Structure 1
Amino acid sequence: MNVENRVIELVEEKIAERPDLFLVDVQMHGGGLLTVLIDGDNGVAITDCVAISRHVGFHLEEENTIEQAYNLEVSSPGLDMPLKSLRQYQKNISRSLNVKLIDGSKHEGKLLAADDSGITIEENIKEKGKKASVIQNVIPFADITETKVLVSFK
């Protein structure tokens, strides 16, 4: 079993009794950096990150899963991190997104819905010399290369 799969098991074991938390990503980087990203329906507290870090670190050390020195970082994804899971999309319904597609096009709009097949966003389309129109755009996940939440300071 590779390191990332074992870490996924350990994180899921630790958050099993916390249905509000979910795993976003696990990556073993070169140079011995192991990152774990978790998120929550209502955010993630530092105490959650600490508890998961201690649980994962303890078991990795006990099992000698990683033979070389490593650094374990457990955190929530920052605002600049792309969305990776359906649950992250669902958590961000009603927020504005920037969506990049495989064909190179970009779409910006309010997230209205997200399900297993894709997302629905509400976009303001502005044409020169015309009044802006609002459309609903359904975008399959297979067409999306990256989605980021737009931060509003209103």
Structure 2
Amino acid sequence: MMREKVTTLLNEALAENPSLFLIDLDITGDNKIVVILDGDEGVKVEDCMAISRAIEHNLDREEEDFSLEVMSAGVSEPLTMPRQYNKNLDRNLKIKTTRGETIEGQLTHVAEGYITLEWKAREPKPVGKGKVTVKKKADLTYDEIVEAKVMVTFN
């Protein structure tokens, strides 16, 4: 009952701001409601407050006591939805694949069903000693991605 009502209220609130989308909704047995959001242009504190109000003001604490947390997906959290890749275009990602590979590269393309990463690697010269820097590129379907995280750089 509680989950259905919260889900309905959350969907109504998200419909008012289509740039926001749900990453996770968790409701524990003791009615602790945790909502994790992301947005095409990021998530502001005001966005979290608006979603929180839309849920909290429409639930009756006399009927059922609850606690509510509404937050944005943290920068260290993995990307879990294809929609999140669009806002991270041109950023560096670290991706673990179903083949057991770990690839670090720049997200250069996001399409329906797959992404493209590009990076530079040092490889042995085809002839002679030493190494040469080569450009690498990989197209990965969302099914091939076990985990994808944005690599945060501080300049």
Residue of structure 1 equivalent to 2:146: 145
Query: Shift of the alpha carbon at 1:37?
Result: 1.2
Paired with 2:111 and 2:9, the residues of 1 have a C-alpha distance of: 27
Amino acid at match of 1:18: N
Query: Shift of the alpha carbon at 1:9?
Result: 3.0
Residue of structure 1 equivalent to 2:76: 80
Query: Shift of the alpha carbon at 1:48?
Result: 1.2
Instruction: Verify: 1:40 aligned to 2:44, yes or no.
Output: no
Is there any run of 5+ residues in structure 2 with no aligned partner, and where? 125-129
Query: Shift of the alpha carbon at 1:53?
Result: 0.9
The 3-state SS of whatever aligns with 1:132 is strand
Instruction: Verify: 1:115 aligned to 2:111, yes or no.
Output: yes
TM-score calculated relative to the size of structure 1: 0.84
Question: Of the two, which has the highest radius of gyration?
Answer: 2
CA RMSD, aligned part only?
A: 2.3
TM-score calculated relative to the size of structure 2: 0.83
Paired with 2:5 and 2:109, the residues of 1 have a C-alpha distance of: 33
Is there any run of 5+ residues in structure 1 with no aligned partner, and where? none
Residue pair 1:7, 1:26 contacting (<8 A) in 2 also? no
Paired with 1:148 and 1:73, the residues of 2 have a C-alpha distance of: 23
More strand as a share of residues: 2
More helix as a share of residues: 1
Residue of structure 1 equivalent to 2:122: 126
Amino acid at match of 2:19: D
Paired with 1:101 and 1:46, the residues of 2 have a C-alpha distance of: 33
